[in-house]
Structure 1
Amino acid sequence: FPLQLKSQAPGSVEELRCLQMLNQQPEGSSLEELSSSQTCLKLASTIKAYVATVTENILRRSAVKEARRSYFNTSEGQVPPKTAGKPSAHLTLRPQSLTQDGILERFGNLSQSCRHAITRWEHSTLHSHLQNITYRDGRLRVEQPGKYYVYSQIYFRYRSAGAQDSGPQLVQCIQWQPSHSQPILLLKGVGTKCWAPEADYGLHALYQGGLFELKAGDELFVSVSSLAIDYNDAAASYFGAFRLDL
C-alpha cells in the first residue's frame, strides 16, 4: 500500500511517514493525536472522507438492490398500492384462463348476460399502472373513499357461425361489490351486431364509464357475455378507475 502511494506521488516522504504513523495508531484513537503534524492530519482526514464516500455508495447500491428485489418478489396476485398521489388504476387485458373455477366462485352470483368475470389484467406494463388502489385476481379494491370515475372497454372478436347466425349479443358489465355483499351492477353495455355472411370474424368495441361514490374496501370488476375477445391489442381492452376531488 505505501509503495503504491509512493508510485503515485514520488518524493512524498512526509506522506509515507504519516502512513506509518497511522498504521501504528491504536484502534479507536482520534485524529487529534496527529495534530502535531498538519500533513498527517490532512492525509488522515482525506482517507476518512474517502472511506465515508465509498461506504455511502455501497449502502446506496444495497438499498437499490433491496428495493428491486422487493418489487420483483411481490406476489403477482396482490399488488400493494403506492403511497403518494391520487388513487388511480388503468389495467389492460391478459388472455383468460378457463380453469379458474375457485376464483370465479368468489365473484358471486352473476346474471347470465354477464356471467364471465374477467380475472386476469395487466397492472405494471407500459400501458397499465396502479396508484393507491389494490389489484387482485381481476378486482380493483378501493383504499381511499371518494367519487371515482370507473370505466372499461372490451374489444370483442366474435367468430360468425355462418349465414344463419342472426348476430351475437355482446354484453359488458362493470360490477361493484361492497364488503361482505353480493355484486351490484353499476354499468351495462350491450351491442348486437350483424356482420356479413362471408366474414370469418366480427370486431366490436364496447365502452362505458360513470361517476360513483365509493368507500374504502369496495371492489370493482368486469364481466362479459362471452370470452371471445381480442387479447392481442393492449390498447383495445382495458379497465380502470380514478378519484375526482369534487
Structure 2
Amino acid sequence: MVAYTTAPGDVEMGPEERTVVLVEKKSSAVRIWKVSVALLIVALCIGGVLLFAWYWSGKLDITTQSGQREALIKSDTAEKTDPHYTLSRIGSKAKAAIHLEGNYEDCESSKHQLEWRNGQGQAFAQGGFKLVDNQIIIPQTGLYFVYSQASFRVSCSDGDEKGAGRRLMPLSHRIWRYSDSIGSRASLMSAVRSACQSTAQEDSDGDGKGWYNAIYLGAVFQLNKGDRLWTETNQLSELETDEGRTFFGVFAL
C-alpha cells in the first residue's frame, strides 16, 4: 500500500511559484507481510528436516528390531530341534514334573539295572514328585504325560573272521506301573528294536564304534496318588548314558 505526502516549498516564493512534490511512502504492512512469509518458509524447512530425521530413525529402529527377532528365532529354533531340551522346557513349566537321567555301570557290584538319578545334568523334580528305590512316586491323582528314552550302541562284529557277527539282537525298553487300586503291576508302554539285522550291516556312524539306535516311549495316562512308575531295559551293557541320551520323566497336565 503506497501513501503520498507533499514536500514543503520555498516559503519565500509566492503561492503561484511553489512546486508540489509527491514522495512515495511505503506502508509498514508490507514489511510485516514479508517477515511473515520468511518465518513461514523457515518453519517449513525446520519441519521438513524433523520429519526426515523421524522417518529414518523409525526405519532404522524397525530394521534393528527385525534383525534381533530373526536372531532370536534362529537361536530358539536351533534349541527346539533337540527333543530332550523341549521335554525339559515343557516339564519346567508344569506345576508338577520330574525328569531323570539314566546311569549304568557294568561291573560285578552293579545292581544290573538302569539307575535313574535326580540332580544330574538336566534332571530335576518339583511339585511333590519323588524318586524312591529307583521308582517315580506320583504326588496327586490326575492326568500325566509319561515318557522315557533308552539309547543303545551295539557292536555288530562278534568275531575276528570276515563276515562274522551278531544276528537280530533284540533291544527292549518298558515302563511299568504299580497302583494300589490295581493291586499288581501293569505295563504302561513298551517297544522293541532289532540290532545287527545282518552280518554285513555297517556301523551306523561309520566310525567302527557300533550300531546306534534309541527307543522312545511317551503317552498320557490317568494316574492315582501314590502310584509307582519304573522302567525295565535289556542289553544294559549296550546302553548309552551320556547326558541327554537316556532319560525318564513325568509331568502333570
TM-score, reference length from structure 1:
0.53
Q: Does the alignment pair 1:93 with 2:102? A: yes
The aligned amino acid for 2:202 is A
Distance in 1 between the 2:144 and 2:190 partners? 17
**Superposed displacement of residue 167, structure 1:** 2.6
| Aligned partners of 2:104 and 2:113 also within 8 Å | no
**Deviating more after overlay: 185-194 vs 234-243:** 185-194
| Aligned partners of 1:117 and 1:222 also within 8 Å | no
How many residue pairs are counted as aligned between the two chains? 145
| Aligned partners of 2:137 and 2:227 also within 8 Å | yes
Listed as ranges, the matches of 1:106-117 within 5 Å are 117=113
| Aligned partners of 1:117 and 1:221 also within 8 Å | no
Runs of 4+ residues over 6 Å off in structure 1? none
Distance in 2 between the 1:200 and 1:234 partners? 18
Q: Does the alignment pair 1:186 with 2:188? A: yes
**Superposed displacement of residue 178, structure 1:** 1.2
Distance in 2 between the 1:229 and 1:134 partners? 25
| Aligned partners of 1:154 and 1:205 also within 8 Å | yes
> Could you tell me which of 230, 239, 243 is aligned with 2:240?
230
Q: Cα gap change, 1:230/1:126 in structure 2, threshold over 3 Å: closer, same or farther?
A: closer
Partner of 2:226: 217
TM-score, reference length from structure 2:
0.52
Distance in 2 between the 1:135 and 1:241 partners? 11
| Aligned partners of 2:99 and 2:248 also within 8 Å | yes
The aligned amino acid for 1:129 is F
Distance in 2 between the 1:226 and 1:178 partners? 27
The aligned amino acid for 1:196 is E
> Could you tell me which of 188, 199, 205 is aligned with 2:214?
205
Q: Cα gap change, 1:154/1:176 in structure 2, threshold over 3 Å: closer, same or farther?
A: same
Q: Does the alignment pair 1:124 with 2:119? A: yes
* Structure 1 unmatched ranges of 5 or more: 1-84, 102-115
Partner of 1:144: 140
Deviations 1:69-113 (A, max 9, x none): xxxxxxxxxxxxxxxx72210001122465466xxxxxxxxxxxx
Listed as ranges, the matches of 1:19-168 within 5 Å are 86-96=95-105, 99=109, 117-118=113-114, 120-131=115-126, 132-160=128-156, 161-162=158-159, 163-168=164-169
| Aligned partners of 1:89 and 1:129 also within 8 Å | yes
Partner of 2:30: none
Distance in 1 between the 2:110 and 2:166 partners? 30
- Give the match's secondary structure for 1:207: strand
**Superposed displacement of residue 125, structure 1:** 2.8
